[in-house]
Amino acid sequence: MSSNTNKLFTRSIRLLSSSKSILCSSRHKSVWTPDNIVKSPYRDVEIPNTTLVEHIWEKMDRWADKTAIICGVTKRYYTYEKLHKCSKNLAANLRKKLNIRDGDVVCVMMPNSPDYALTIIGSLQAGAKVTTVNPIYTPHEVARQITLSKPKVLVGIPETMSVLKEAMNLSNVTLPIVICKGYIDNSIPEGAISFDELALDDNVDHSILKEVNRTSVNTALLPYSSGTTGLPKGVQLTNRNLVANLVQQNVEDVKYYDETTASYQDRMLAVLPFYHIYGLSITLLHKLSVGVQMVSLPRFHPESFVNALKEHKITLLSAAPPLVLFIGSHPDVKREHLESLKLITSGAAPLPKLDVDRVREKGTKDLIFLNLYGLTETSPLATASPKNIGTVKIAGFPLSNTEAKIVDSNMRNCGPDEVGELLLRGPHIMKGYRDNVEATRNAITEDGWFRTGDLASIDKDGGVTITDRLKELIKVKGFQVPPAELEHLLKEHPAVLDAGVVGFPDPKTGEVPKAFVVLKDGHKVDPRNIIDFVSERVAEFKRIKEVVLLDSLPKNPSGKLLRRVLKEQYS
C-alpha cells in the first residue's frame, strides 16, 4: 500500500475517532470478529414481515393530506391520500381489465413523473412484479428486456409508444400498452390504453384485490443489471429485501430526513431516474414510506433543475457525480438556490474532494455531504455514513443487520486496511438472478455472501473505502455500460469476427467505450461504419467512440478475453 494511501487511512481514522456521536451507543466494542468479519456498527433493526406496498402505506394516515409527489415541470401532483386511492384503482383495473395475476410482470418505460410512482405501487398492489426500462433505450434494448422478463403489460408515455411497439415486433409478442400523459404529447396513441382511465376512475370496485396473495418472500422488483460481468440479468428483489433496506435507512445514525409533522415536511428533488434502483428505491420508495414530498423532473435539464431547487425550497438531494460537478461549477447555481438544502448524498462513484468543496462553498455552512455505496443486488444501499462524519473519503459503514468482509484472490479473509474483493451478507441481498442459476451461484456463496466484484478496504472502525472495480463495467456519466453487451452487438455486424470493449478515461463523461475489432477474412470496413452500426442499436451513453482494428485479441488459455491487457496496451 502506498504512503499516500496510508495517510488517507490515518486521516480517516482520526476523523472517525474524534466524533463521539458517529455511531450509536449500542455499537459493538469492536466491529471486527476474530475471523476478520466486520459487523455493522449500527444497531440491528426488526424487519417487518410485510410486503413493500403495505410498508409504504403503514403510516400514511399521518400525512394523508400532504403532497407525495409533484412534477417540477407540469406541476401535476398527488397527495398521499390521492396516491393511495388511485393506486388501488389502477391495481383493481390491472387485474379486472388486463388480467394481471399474482407474479405477472409489468414493464415500465417512462421518465420520472407522479404517474411513475402510481404505476409502481399500483402494479405491486395488483400482485405483479415490476421491471423498469430506461426511457431512452432503443427497440433492440427494450426487446431484449421483454424477452428476458416476459411481461404481461407495458406502460409508457406517447413518446415511447413507437419504441415499445417495435420492441414487441422484435420480440415476436403482442402485449397491451398503457400510456400515461407525456411532457410534450398528452394524446393517447391509437391502440393504446389510457392510464387515466385505469387510475383516475372514481367508480372502481376494489373487492377484486382480495384475490391478491403476495408475501414478504415474493419478488417485487425485477431490475436488470450486469452484476459482476456479462449481459444484463434480472435481479430478483423480494418484498423482504426491499423492506429491509428501507428500514435500515431509518436508523438514527443514518436517518437522512426529518420526521414529517403537521407543520413540517422535507422536500426531495427526484432527478435521478426512477428506472434505476438508486432513484427507485432510495429516492422514491423510501421517501414515500416516511412522508417526504418529492419533486420529480423527467430528465436533467440545467434550467428546470436550478428552478426546482429554488421554487420548491429543496431540502434533500440524491445525486451522482456529474450532478455534483454541475452544482459546484455551473454559474447559474448560486447560494439562493441551495439555501434550503440540508443534505446531499452521492453514489455511483467516488467523488473528488474539490467537487464537494465547490458545492459546500455555495451552500450553507451546515450543508451535509455524504457518500453512499450500493448495488442493484443489495436493494440497493449497502453502506452509509453518519451525518456528522465530516469526510467523504469513505463510502460509509455496513448497514444494520449487515456483515462485510474483504477477501483475497484465494477467498481468504483479509484484515483492516487490506485491499481485496468486498463481500456482503444481510437481509437486503437479492434472492438471485432470474432463470440464471449459474450466475447466481457465481455471485452468492453457499453461506450467503454476495460477491460485489468491487475492490475495497475496511478500516479498523468498519469504514469502507472502494478502491477499484474487479468487474469490468464501464461508467459513463454514472451509467453502467456492460462491455459484453457491446461485444455481443459488434459481433452481429456482418464484417466482424471478434470484438473486445474497454472503458477509457474521459474528462467529460468519466469513461467512454472503446472497441477493438477483428474482421472476418476477406472483409474490409471503415471503422466509422461499425460505430454507426452500434449507435443505431443502443442508447447514447452506450455508444462506442472509437474502433481499433486488430489482427487478434489477447485471451487466456481458456479463451477468455483479457480486457485488462487491451487497456494496458492501448492506454
Q: Mind listing the pLDDT tens digit for each residue in 206-236?
A: 999 999 999 999 999 999 986 545 678 999 9
Q: Identify whether 308 is part of a domain.
A: no
Residues with Cβ < 8 Å from 520, sequence gap 6 or more? 495, 496, 497
For the stretch 472-527, pLDDT in tens is 788 898 887 888 889 989 999 999 999 999 999 988 888 999 999 999 999 999 99
Prior bond of 114 cis (ω within 30°):
no
Residue 198 domain flag: yes
Q: What CA–CA distance (Å, rounded) separates 239 from 54? A: 10
Of 163, 196, 214, which residue is a domain's last?
A: 214
Contact 399, 42 (CB under 8 A): yes
- How many domains would you assign to the chain? 2
324 is a domain residue: no
Let me know if residue 145 belongs to a domain. Answer: yes
From CA 441, how far away is CA 86, in angstroms rounded? 40
Residue 19, C-alpha cell as written in the block: 466524533
d(C-alpha 444, C-alpha 82), whole Å: 41
Asked whether residue 80 carries a pLDDT value surpassing 60, the answer given is yes
Instruction: Find, among 236, 238, 243, the residue nearest to 285 by Cα.
Output: 243
Give yes or no for a contact between 314 and 296, defined as CB atoms under 8 angstroms apart: no
Nearest 10 degrees: Cα torsion 347, 348, 354, 355: -80
Secondary element (H or E) of residue 476? strand 474-476
pLDDT digits (tens, 9 = 90+) for 369-428: 999 999 999 999 999 999 989 888 899 999 999 999 999 989 999 999 999 999 999 999
Residue 456 lies in a domain: no
Cα–Cα distance for residue pair 375/31, rounded to 1 Å: 23
What is the rounded average pLDDT of the residues 449-460? 94
Average pLDDT of the segment spanning 164-169: 98
Amino acid in position 391: T
Radius of gyration of the chain (CA): 24
Phi, psi (5° rounding) for residue 147? -65, -40
Q: Which pLDDT belongs to residue 426?
A: 98
Q: What is the pLDDT of residue 1?
A: 42
Q: Which domain holds residue 520?
A: 474-570
In angstroms, the CA 515 to CA 547 distance is 5
Inside any domain, residue 489: yes
- Among residues of the chain, what percentage have pLDDT more than 70? 92
Q: 13 pLDDT exceeds 70? A: no
Under the banding of pLDDT at 50, 70 and 90, the label for residue 26 is very low
Cα–Cα distances (Å) from 468 to 324, 421, 428, 473, in that order, read: 21, 9, 23, 11
Q: Check which CATH number belongs to the domain holding 206 and give it.
A: 3.40.50.12780
Is 146 among the domain residues? Answer: yes
The domain spanning residue 566 has which CATH number?
Answer: 3.30.300.30
Mean of pLDDT values over 284-304: 97
Q: Which amino acid is at 122?
A: G
* Contact call for residues 369 and 357 (beta carbons, < 8 A): no
Q: Do 457 and 421 form a contact (C-beta atoms < 8 A)? A: no
Span 542-563, mean pLDDT? 86
Phi-psi region of 389 (alpha: psi -120 to 50; beta: other; left: phi over 0): alpha
Domain assignment present for residue 77? The answer is yes
Could you tell me the sign of the dihedral formed by the alpha carbons of 368, 419, 569, 551, in that order? Answer: negative
* Cα–chain center distance at 36: 29
Which residue carries 487478434 as its cell? 552
Q: Look at residues 187, 214, 241 and tell me which one is the last residue of a structural domain.
A: 214
Among 197, 214, 231, residue at a domain's last position: 214
